[in-house]
Structure 1
Amino acid sequence: MGIKRAVLPHMHRVIRHLSDGRCHIHVYAYRGRGAPRLATYTGADLQGARQAELAGVDDLVKAYAASRVAGQKPTKTIHDLVVLYRGDPDGLPKLATSTRAQWSRWLDVIDKQFGSLELRLLKAAAARNAIKRWRNSMAETPRKADYGIQVLRRVLAFGMEEGLVENNPATSFKKLHNVNRAEQIVTDDELEAILSKATIRARHVIGLAAATGLRRGDLVDLKWDQVRDDFLIVKTNKSGGRVTATVPLTPAARAIIEQLTQERREVIASGAIPSAFVLTTERGGKWLPASVTQAFIRAAAAAGVAKRLHDLRGTAATRLLLAGCTTFEVATIMGWEEKGVERILLRYVDPGAIARRAAERLARNETAG
């Protein structure tokens, strides 16, 4: 995805066309007399000015945040705090792109629900009760309710970090949705049935998800320069690229990579330019995360399997365990707690397979010794 124009609360743009054909885009912190000008972008025409703005989006966000911190808009209410969180580099802009989109919608909901609430009143029991009533109004969709509380909790925590909030009443709520999907897996029989109903390209992405445990965002962003002979190097999207995971290639993963490698060689031999991405759609383009989910849903429904795409991470965990990885290694790769991996091991992995794996390791160690 390309760089997107910054869309922040109250930010105001003024476009001026000059007599010589050039164009200015003046960006202000908010609409009205006295509003600080954050930046001016100039181009040979309107398109050029917009391109200049896109190139300077990071500096614009920082200038916007600085204008808020400087006090042009005092932070006294939840609305003011939401505005600050949207623009501060340690707030919404710090999140991964896909997460930002979801959180931005929830910030709108929170602003509408609690925007007029003064921050100083968060210490009162009435504030917690109001949040609880809001959470309970979504009880029929517990995951949705939990997500809303999660976003509100983080916004208020941000306010505490900035010294604007003394109390965070959103921290006292337990989750309504308690299903631990980390312990759910798609069994080998279920996976085979799903793959039989998927398109050729969908088989690649679903198969690699089951073999590596990568989240869908990391799968669609996987490029050939991240592929090594025995492993993949992935800067995870969930961490905003701050965490690099080294994912070993199991036999199933290697088979998919080798097939795609051969296809890529054939594309190069034909004189065409291959995609930089490992996984591509039938049209040769990059997968969208939502399209991966839809492809899995369609194939699973056709196969009569009631599982989610995310459950393939449990499948991958069992395969990594059977391939010889320790529970600690699997937990590190998957980003889980080791206890969760141990539960998967006890629930899904054949004890005989565990014994054979241990014997093979001992034999290798004795040979090496």
Structure 2
Amino acid sequence: MVKVELVGVHSVKKRLADGSVKTYYYAWRGGPAIKFDPAKERRKFTEEYLRLTRERDDAPYQGCMAEIIRGYLKSPHYRDLKPSTREGYDFAIRAIESEFYDMTAKQISAPGTRSIFLQWRDEMAETHKRKADLYMSVLQRVLWYALDREMIEKHPLERVTKVNDGTRRDIIWSDDDIATFKAKAREPLVRALLLAAWTGQRQGDLLALTWSAYDGHAIRLRQSKTGAHVAVKVSAELKRILDSAKAVNAKQETPAATILTNRSGQPWGSGFKSSWRKAMAAAGIEGRTFHDLRGTFVTLAYRNGASIREIAEITGHTEKDAETIIRKHYLVSSAAVEKIESRTLTVNQGEFSKLASGDNE
């Protein structure tokens, strides 16, 4: 049975006619049933729980985002929305509430929270840019309500550029950022960081990556967004951490199928984003997101001699975007870019032969 950590959720086990046991969940003891299975539909389960508990006098998560949203839904601004506009707001509010329901007012006002919200927005923008902008706009409105009612001390999203107007493609993690995170974070999260920084793949693809994709020398996968099959030869640094994690996983009573696992050695569910945000805050790293590690890979690949075309084939960036990242961080003229493009490298089906050395000093 999945452990349900939401405050007040009540569960009851019942034996069915076929002899199997089923667990039923309720918003509170004696309260309405939650129709979703937390093991299969965790986000919908959370959304339904929060919806069902909103009107209770003792509604949970007082002083948190959940309470702010409860207040906003009763405000004139929300109630005066046109039905068509309110429908879009409702979708956004459910997503915001399920993601940040237990974030306290103090945390919302604290330094670093802006980066947390922007990371959430940017991850969504990978597949739905318009939705990302809408959800961010609604979150801004909810937080303006909270600031106006003195529920928070600072609005962390006063000015936010829309995704369609500007991207984070030229933002990367510095060597110091990576070193700081590695020193502060737990091993499962360091593993996630290095896997992203040394492969350039998207978060969703990395979380789904199984051990069968790693042969000890390279990682092979099919990108969910582009459908492209890519193979990335692992660096020495990444190989060390993957080999160690694989050995530990093999000793488990029930080894995990995925490369990235939580502290309990189980595949990450929706909890990855929350754990990542907390690790970023603990490390004191601001202005960087998990998504920015894709751009970081571009710079690491360049350090090891890869061409713009090869980088784009691996990451799914356009060559123009890859060139933009490289220009900003390493190059000073178009002649330098052309020099990179003219290099002759030993490449086998898109793998970086030089990247395998891990020599990025």
Return the TM-score normalized by structure 2. 0.48
Identify the structure with bigger relative contact order (alpha carbons < 8 Å, sequence gap 6+).
2
Return the TM-score normalized by structure 1. 0.48
